[in-house]
Amino acid sequence: MQPSTETPRSDLGSRYVDHLAGTGQDVAALTAAATGSELLAVAYRGRFLPAPVFLSAAERALLAEDLRTVHALLTGLPERLFGGSTTALAEAVGMNATQAAVVARAAVAGPLLPMARSDLYRDATGFKLLELNITSALGGFENADINRAMLDHPALAGFAAAHRLQYADTLRCITDTMLAECAAQVPADRPPVVALVDWPESYLTYRPRLGVLADLLGRAGLRALPCHIGQLAEKDGRLTLDGEQIDIVWRFFLVEEIVDEEGAALVEPVLRAAENGTVGVFSRLDAELYGNKGALALLSDDRHRDAFTPAEQACIDRFLPWTRPVLPTVTGPDGTPLDLLAHARAEQRELILKPTLLHGGTGIVPGWTVTAEEWQERLAEAVGGPYVLQRRVHPQAEAFPAEDGSGTQRLYLNWGVFLADPAATGTDGYAGCIVRGSLDPAVGVVSMGSGARVGCCFHQPGNEN
């Protein structure tokens, strides 16, 4: 595989900033259409980056290749490391007995089609994968609408046309993957009825976002119904919602929410219907087994190098930062045995502590944001538990137009690159990108909660175009 240091990096970002400076554009006008969009306001509340980001054709192709490789490695971990047992993998990555039982039942339905969103930083050597969220509960699904809104401004529209820039329709890619994964449950004589199913507690706040998705899917010819899992019922062996038969469950609830038998009872009707073949589930509950941060630690761990081919290991070495479970002894960055707690104390400012199963930055402790005393306390609590330590990645600053029109500003980005099934989408798997940008180079998690703003991505066409 081609190393990222040899991958031509797009200079379109700096060229676009120069282009804007030359035309004297009002920075606020660049995002006016996106800010004025009622659809986008639900998720982003007008907090948009003043310019998109850009990928060269080579960058985009390598990202797709690396993400396909990592997805295949993660979903193959039961066979490679645990004798085919999903239960053993679930226990290894910190799931409790209830969660392990649920994902083991879900995993019997066959291969899992690629569907994920990565969290990436780009440092001096290329992109580094912080997390791979393998699930259907993905934020950013409406990002192509940011692309379309940004193109409303002639400065970007002209620039994009001059450079033949493209963008991926992420929601179309997700939908095509869903229909392929649930093909057996798609009716031949009508569009499928898709239930957008959240957990009762999170549905209270996420309901408006599911409404946006239902509207977008309706425009694409699908019937989509937002609900929480407690609203589903069983009738004659099928799932129903308010008496209407459901063909596909688009799952927005997470395995982390199924903490006990009460939670397992809520998902039992979905599991039973899936096992009977009367409903398709997108994505299956075992998806988060492979998207678990503990699974990334298994790929990164030098003890398992023999389980991977030289090409696969080259991808791991290039693409993944050093990531380890929080155990007394692990292998260090050079592959030798390491006293983890001593190493973590010495390297506090270069390490980040993460729970394996929680999402959205919950429970993450960046070492450089806390005192030495708090760091040691959190490490001691994490030993032997569902946590990993990951080597800090220092993102390179990216140039954007300054908000006051005075020149440029430097932002630090989280790149959320989507992966979808190549066969279903007719692509190499690249399914678009949503970015979050922060002014703070030391921010622990670049997120909306930490004040970040969002933007879209355009890419240069490859040889096939």
Spell out where 173-237 has E strands.
193-198, 223-228, 232-235
Structure tokens at 248: 């596909």
Task: Name the packing angle between helices 154-162 and 12-23 (round to 10°).
Answer: 140
Residues 366, 370, 376, 381, Cα dihedral to 10°: -60
Q: Where are the domains of the chain?
A: 8-291+396-459, 322-391
2 pLDDT above the threshold of 60: no
Of all residues in the chain, the percent with pLDDT exceeding 90 is 83
Least confident of 330-334, 405-409, 421-425, 436-440: 405-409
Q: Which of these CATH numbers, 3.90.550, 1.10.10, 3.30.1490, 3.40.1360, describes 322-391? A: 3.30.1490
The answer, yes or no, to whether residue 127 has pLDDT greater than 90, is yes
Mean of pLDDT values over 133-138:
95
Q: What is the pLDDT of residues 104-114, one digit of tens each?
A: 999 876 779 99
Give 193-206 pLDDT, tens digit per residue: 999 999 999 999 99
pLDDT digits (tens, 9 = 90+) for 348-401: 999 999 999 866 556 899 999 999 999 999 999 999 999 999 999 999 999 999
C-beta separation of 386 from 326 below 8 A: no
- The DSSP call for residue 444 is S
The token pair that represents 20 in the structure block = 């804007």
